[in-house]
Structure formats: structure tokens, C-alpha cells
Amino acid sequence: MRKYNFAATLLMAILLAGCGGGGSSGGSQAPKVSFTSEVIFGDSLSDVGSYAVGTVTALGGGGQYTINGTGKNWTELMAAQLGLPAPCAAQTGLNGSATYGFSEPVVNDTSCTDYAQGGARVTNPVGPGNALLGGSNAILGQLTVPIVTQIQNHGTFSGREIVYVMAGANDVFMNLSIYAASPSPAAATAAVTAMATAATELAGYVNTNIISAGGAKYVVVINMPDVSSTPFAAAQEATAPGSKAFINTLVTTFNSQLQSLVANNPNVLFVDAYTVHRDEVTNPAAYSLSNVTTPACNITISNVTNPTNPIGSSLMCNAGNLSPGVDSHYLFSDTVHPTPYGYLLLARLVSKEMLIKGWL
């Protein structure tokens, strides 16, 4: 896995060089903002270890949704670029099965400000992997604290933090599941409406709870990547034709509503990860991607006693349980989450947009 570390080093150098202090040929550059800390609200894409407890760590999982131990989450890369401490999970624990080592006490760390959690939705506290959903969800028992509560748990801001907000995918998964259980035109309309509502709620939390009432001055809102271009969506399409188009409608409904409500706020930088992610899948060579259709991690399991990845998720993926022939430029670690290289591409996008905004 040395190639992963080399790729991380190379792209980090590109990130830093692209945001360096090279002079311009005329006019003055906006001064770089000296951020005092990094605060993160979101879901698994920004989670740096909320569930790094019990069996997750015992079997070599680093508690991040990627190929653990071979690279960094995009939030860690951004912290390094800004000269800030690496983010750590504000809350850890699991409410799952004690039999399989997924029942661990919930611990809050007030020194950590990455509130993002795998399975978190915008407002609803029950997201994918939450024990209240029953079935296989009860085995892992993710905490899935929603974004609204994450923001409340943090409280107010000094105005010198860089705040990252990225959510929505788990609302897609939940609404898609509800629709799939009893598909109908009315159910489809309800799912789309629910996504628009979630986006409206998230925009309200950003504009009001984080900025106007909370006091934050620098908020980066990243829209939802193109879930319809993931291996998950491809599998859905194989069994239910039309699924990819429907998933895309859910995603774009959320993204367009969110953008319309936050993009004009001068304290917000809106980053379009959807368009770039879609282009990565369509034109992989342009991003040096070698595979954009197959998960890098071996997530095939027969039951929860599988010794290497008992839950079939990148949460417990590492260099020891990859699929044969995987190289460092795969895009997906499992059916929806990026590899370390994928996270580096996301960090590069955020870095570029912050530079254009004048915040770097």
C-alpha cells in the first residue's frame, strides 16, 4: 500500500503549491484568513472516527469510511493545509450488539470539534445504521446524531473558525428505502418533497444557527456528491430500472434547494461537489482515476462473524481486506464512500474554491 502514501504526499504538495503565496502580476491579493480552528458538521464523508471503538478498531478498522490507514479524510487534509490540529471526533460510541462488540459507551470530548457521524441526517435522528431501525442496523448501532443537534452541541462561534457543512446523502438513502418498500407516483413525490424539506432545513441551520445567531463568519457548504453515479446506484438500477434517475432527482432536488438558500450569504462559500464527482465518473482519466465502478474494499460477507469485515463496510476496511488487484487510484472504497484518493480529490476542490473566495 505504499502507493497510497505516495499519492497522498504528491497531492498534498499540489494542494499546498496551488494555495501558496506566489505573487500576481497586478493588483493586490486578498489576505489569507488566519483560522483558529476547524469545526465540522455532517455525515460519514466527514466522520474521522465517531465509531472507532470496540470491534471496529479491534479488527483493524480506523473508524473512517474509506481504506483506513492508507490516507486521510478530506477534513484532515484541509486542517493540515490551514496549519490547524487534525480534527478528532466530538463523540464516540456505538449502540449496537454487545455480542459482536458493537455496544460501546457514548463519550463526548469537548476538545474535539468534528461532529460529523456516519448515518447522520439533516434533522431526523434515525439514520442508516441506527439500532432503532432494527434488523442488520441493530448490529452496528450507529449514533446518527443529526446535523441540527451537532450544531446545537457545539454552541456559538468566535468568528475565526473555518466551518464545514456537508450532508444530505443519508436522507436520500432513507427516503429511497421508504419509496422502494411501496413504490408509487405518490411515494415518489413524497420522497422528492422530503429532500427539498431537508435542504430547506439545512440552509436554515446554516444561515441562522451557525451564522446569524451562532456568530460564524467563514462557512463552507459542500453539496451532495452524485450518489446516482456510485456502485450503490448501479446495483439498484440492476434490480429496479429507473433507480439511478430517481436517485439523481433526489440528489439534485436537495442540492438546488440548498444552493438557492445559502449561496447569496456573504459568509458562505458554496462548493459544488456534485458536478465534479459526476465528471470524475464520466471522465476518470482526467483525474488519474483507474476505477470508478468497483469498490476497492472486499465488502462481501456471509454473516456478521466474518473475521475481516463483519459488516461489509469501508468503516472496517484497511490494507488487509482489499479486493484483489486494487491500486491507489480507485474512486470508491465501498459502494458509496471514497478511497483516500477520492478524499484528496475532494480536498483539492475545497481548497481551490477557498482560494478563489479569498479565504486561502
In tens, the pLDDT along 237-286 reads 999 999 999 999 999 999 999 999 999 999 999 999 999 999 999 999 99
Query: Per the domain annotation, does 337 fall within a domain?
Result: yes
Query: Per the domain annotation, does 6 fall within a domain?
Result: no
Q: Does the pLDDT value for residue 15 go beyond 90?
A: no
Residue 206 grid coordinates: 446554516
Query: Per the domain annotation, does 112 fall within a domain?
Result: yes
Task: Note down the domain range covering 149.
Answer: 35-357
Spatial contact of 227 and 277, defined as CB atoms under 8 Å apart: no
Per the model's pLDDT, the better-predicted residue between 195 and 13 turns out to be 195
Beta bridge partners of 92: 107
Confidence grade of residue 5 (pLDDT, cut at 50, 70, 90): very low
Q: Does the pLDDT value for residue 117 go beyond 60?
A: yes
Per the model's pLDDT, the better-predicted residue between 15 and 349 turns out to be 349
Per the model's pLDDT, the better-predicted residue between 118 and 300 turns out to be 118
Query: Per the domain annotation, does 328 fall within a domain?
Result: yes
Query: Per the domain annotation, does 27 fall within a domain?
Result: no
> Which CATH number fits the domain that encloses residue 173?
3.40.50.1110
Beta bridge partners of 110: none
Q: Residue 304: what pLDDT?
A: 53
Q: Residue 301: what pLDDT?
A: 66
Q: Residue 62: what pLDDT?
A: 82
Query: Per the domain annotation, does 26 fall within a domain?
Result: no
Residue 46 grid coordinates: 466527514
Domain count across the chain: 1
Confidence grade of residue 312 (pLDDT, cut at 50, 70, 90): confident
Per the model's pLDDT, the better-predicted residue between 31 and 308 turns out to be 308
The Cα-based distances of 200 to 155, 204, 205 in angstroms read 21, 6, 9
DSSP states along 79-105: HHHTT-PPP-BSEEEEES-TTTT-EEE
119 alpha-carbon distance from chain centroid: 10
Query: Per the domain annotation, does 321 fall within a domain?
Result: yes
Spatial contact of 41 and 87, defined as CB atoms under 8 Å apart: no
Return the percentage of the chain with pLDDT > 90, whole number: 82
Q: What is the mean pLDDT of residues 342-350?
A: 98
pTM reported for the whole predicted model: 0.91
Q: Does the pLDDT value for residue 200 go beyond 80?
A: yes
Query: Per the domain annotation, does 30 fall within a domain?
Result: no
CA angle 108, 213, 41 (to 5 degrees): 40
Beta bridge partners of 330: 291
Q: Residue 59: what pLDDT?
A: 82
Phi, psi of 77 (to 5 degrees): -65, -40
3-state SS, residue 163: strand
